[in-house]
A = this chain, B = another copy of it.
Amino acid sequence: MDLYTLTNIEEGQKLLKESYDNIKRKVELRKINEALGFVLAEDIFARESLPQFSRSTVDGYAVLSENTYGGSSSLGIPLKIAGEIPIGVESKAVLKNQECFEVVTGSMLPEGSDSVVMVEHTEKLSGDEILVYRGLHEYENLILKGEDVRVNELLFKKGHRLRFQDIALLGALGMDFIQVESSLRVGIISTGDEIVPVSKKKLKIGEIRDINGPLILNRLRAIRGVEAVDLGIIKDNKNALEQGVIESLRKTDVLLMSGGSSIGAKDYALGIIESLGHSLFHGLPMRPGKPTIGGIIDGKLVMGLPGQPLSCYFVYEKMLAPLFICGEYIVKASVKGTLQRNIASVSGRLDFAPVNYDNGKVTPIFGKSGLLSPLGKGNGYIEIPFLKEGLLADSDVDVYLF
């Protein structure tokens, strides 16, 4: 009889992150607008300032702030309109003392001005004079040249994952192509003699359509910068599976196998990983999810995931998803709620339970790990900490929404 030696979750994550960081990635030149979620392959310095000129952020009059001192709703300060600066054009205007220029949001500001009074705080007199009913301070209602980004500033380091706001910033600086790592190719093989493809219409008794492949592939498809690779189904045959792994490694950077990760007679995943590469761990103190293998083959990350759908999902979510989404195991956002029923657990393992969150009420959804439907009946899950023997009704819990 074989026994697991469990690796604790944090140690397992550390091993996986190291392996993930060491995966060799190709580099490509990519259009900035198609680079969301991609990882920079170069440090990025600003080639320009943003903005390249000082500009108004309101409709009003460009002024010298000290000319407006003392202005208030009961005391209008008179200034002479020296001209108008339309938007989108270069202005060579120079502001003189006691003068102002009419501007709109986005107009370039005249030399000599240091603030803009909003049109709402002025009154236009007949002729070319206004009254300013407010005292302004320096740099009010404008953006200085380079205030958003200074030319030559280091914007992002190599390895940074591009977020929506980073794409907008690089675009604004005219960087329409950038060097990034190619998308991370994550593939999954479903194993099992009873497993047939989703496209098979009429099942024979004894057959079951693939669940874990679509489950994980659709989780991966929600991540920008990741390419989900469907590697199909391989029967429980050691040679076929080994051949499948060798071929699949050509198409993937991370290879997942679902099923065959336990310690039974037909559980080939560990043997294959250890013959082609080496294993990092076998067995995690989590439930569901214990029969999990981490390994490396040819510098690529290879995981044996449990065949039970709930187990497969929670291992993916806890051990892999954070790496693919942001490259590390950061704290995960949650909503707070109150547990409506007791949940039993066992000290010495991290338990996961699907739950339904509704307006602060958290109801556990009980079901065997071999089922898929508990994930669908819920809208999130909770974790029961390692050293707890359960959670009592009325406990405050963190719910991780799907």
Contact = CB atoms under 8 A, between A and B. Distances in A.
A148 B52 contact: no
Given A57-B308, A333-B335, A206 B266 contact: no
Nearest to A222: B224
B171 A210 contact: yes
A276 interface: no
Contact of A172 (B90, B91, B209): B209
Interface string A168-181: 11011110100000
Contacts of A163: 376, 402
State how many copies of this chain the complex holds: 2
A204 interface: yes
Interface residues of A, number: 96
A174 B209 contact: yes
11 contacts: A53-B205, A59-B262, A104-B265, A104-B266, A105-B264, A107-B206, A148-B372, A165-B313, A167-B215, A174-B209, A333-B333
Nearest to A235: B88
Contact of A211 (B89, B168, B259): B168
Contact of A193 (B88, B173, B176): B88
Nearest to A220: B164
Interface string A86-122: 1111110000000000001111100000000001100
A230 B203 CA distance: 45
Given A106-B192, A206-B108, A373 B90 contact: no
Nearest to A34: B221
A107 to B, nearest CB: 8
Given A37-B222, A59-B265, A106-B192, 6 more contacts: A33-B214, A59-B266, A148-B371, A172-B214, A174-B203, A174-B209
Given A168-B214, A192-B106, A368-B143, A51 B201 contact: no
Contact of A32 (B198, B200, B309): B198
A400 interface: yes
Interface string A332-344: 1111000000000
A90 B204 contact: yes
Interface in A328-375: 331-335, 368-373, 375
Interface in A141-188: 143, 147-149, 155, 163-169, 171-174, 176
A222 B333 CA distance: 17
A212 B169 CA distance: 10
Contacts of A204: 89-90
A36 interface: yes
Contacts of A274: none
Given A147-B371, A164-B219, A198 B171 contact: yes
A165 B333 contact: no
